[in-house]
Amino acid sequence: MSRTRRIVAELTGLSEASAESLLAQCGGELKTAVVAQRLGIPPEQARERLSQHGGHLRQLSRHAGHLRAALAPDDN
């Protein structure tokens, strides 16, 4: 999980310790953790938002402009 933790920390601006805690709350789901943090919503809502956009961060970011800043061009 250390790679996932580092990615979440990088995409959200959280410390690695905070990213690890967030991942635990999100069942270890990287995309859920990023969306939950960036949109300030609970993991359940983050999963729902991801599901509405086919599970793709890039598609969701098109509809949530402030999420876009967190995503590298090739993330998905």
- Indicate if the pLDDT at residue 76 is higher than 90: no
Q: Give the integer Cα–Cα distance in Å for 21 and 33.
A: 10
CB 39 within 8 A of CB 67: yes
Q: What is the pLDDT of residues 5-25, one digit of tens each?
A: 999 999 999 999 999 999 999
Mean pLDDT of the region 39-52: 94
CB 38 within 8 A of CB 28: no
For the question of whether the overall pTM of this predicted structure is more than 0.85, the answer is no
HSE-up of 25 (CA within 13 Å, CB side)? 19
| pLDDT recorded at residue 71 | 54
Whole-angstrom Cα distance, residue 17 to residue 5? 8
Query: Which domains, from first to last, does the chain contain?
Result: 2-68 (1.10.8.1080)
Statement: residue 73 has pLDDT above 50: no
Q: What is the pLDDT of residue 69?
A: 54
**pLDDT for position 58:** 77
pLDDT for 64: 65
